[in-house]
Amino acid sequence: MELAGSLGDLGTIIPLSVALMLVTGLSVTTVLLTVGLFYLAAGLFFKLPIPVQPLKVVSAIAIAYPEKITVSIMAAAGISMGLILLLLAFTGLMDRLARFFSRPIIRGIQAGLGLILINKGIAYILNPQLFINQSSGAGYAEFLNPFIGLAGFIIALYLLTNRKFPAALILVTGGIAAGVLLGSLRGLEFALGPTPVHIQPLAPTDFSAALLLLVIPQIPLTLGNAVIGTTDACRTFFGRQQLPNRVSNRNFAISMGLANLGTGLLGGMPMCHGAGGLAAHYRFGARTGGANLIIGGIFLALALVFGKMGIALLASIPQGILGVLLLFAGLELTLLIRDVQTRTDYFITFLVAGIGLATTNMGVAFFIGILVQGLIKWRRIEI
């Protein structure tokens, strides 16, 4: 089950990372190598299936505005985010900020992200385009990807608790096989070895642009989901008494801080942990850091051996299969609200989740949730 669970979060990391590499020109080997190393380090340190994901706000902005976001600005964003997280961790500010994230606020952020993942998963399943990097006029029937997605959903539902044939493993291997049979690698020249790794020269303007365009919009989501949300999800899934002492807000901030410093210096993709990724790994059977060693090793192999073909191999998974992985990860994350107890807490939770779903901006949802929660307590409003 660790092998299957290790593949559970591919529905998040593959679409964003492949899109970033295609749109921004990030080195395939650099991205896959840093993801693999971060997975290995997190698994060895935390002893749990801690996810590695692209920074979602940073990725979304970079994909949407490739003419503004250069590889140098992406590198500066990674370095800046790394320094900010390390500053918060080593000064103790991280734990002080955590006090603002009450259980209803955290559950609202998690539920909002879960709903966003469900929405995105369904969109991938219904997309008539079979592959992420599919060229126009590829000739596939429009119903093919939704059909594969529906079949994948039925298979995942049937195998969800099956230890002999783990759902995620069957979905991913079957998806790649189907993609190859349907011609995803057609016309691709077979080539082994890594792609070039370039250390980016950075200017002060790269850092100013990174802060304004990427880092500042990302910070609330990183603190709420990748740091505090991941810590809370670990306690919920594995039990507070069973957790290694290393699982804490401070250590997650340090982990991501060091990783982003490294990937920024190498010109890679800014990364984080996340409650949604943890839910995905857990949902498909991962329970230990061994899952990280498996998926980390896979990414290292793709980076160093198949770097020149790595993006094509990952992009061979049909969008319908990626959508199924996202859908189940979102459902698992949304179900965390089951420990919310009072009507007032449910009100705050669903308010934050609804705003997050409507705006896809968890920072806005967080701040509005804090204001409304404070107003309810101050005026002693009964819900």
Task: Return the SS3 of 132.
Answer: coil
Joined tokens for residue 343: 């009507």
- Mean pLDDT is highest, among 45-59, 74-88, 96-110, 307-321, for 74-88
139 band by pLDDT with thresholds 50, 70 and 90: low
CA 335 to chain centroid, in Å, comes to: 18
- CB atoms under 10 Å from CB of 123, counted, come to 12
The predicted pLDDT at position 21 comes to 82
What crossing angle do the helices spanning 144-159 and 167-181 adopt, rounded to 10°? 160
Q: What is the pLDDT of residues 225-245, one digit of tens each?
A: 899 999 999 999 998 888 888
The predicted pLDDT at position 24 comes to 81
Phi, psi of 380 (to 5 degrees): 50, 50
What percent of the chain has pLDDT above 90?
49
Distances, alpha carbon 110 to alpha carbons 155, 205, 329, 363, in Å: 26, 35, 11, 12
Instruction: List the beta strands (DSSP E) in the chain.
Output: 53-54, 271-272
Mean pLDDT over 93-111 rounds to: 88
Q: What is the pLDDT of residues 28-56, one digit of tens each?
A: 899 999 999 999 999 999 999 999 999 98
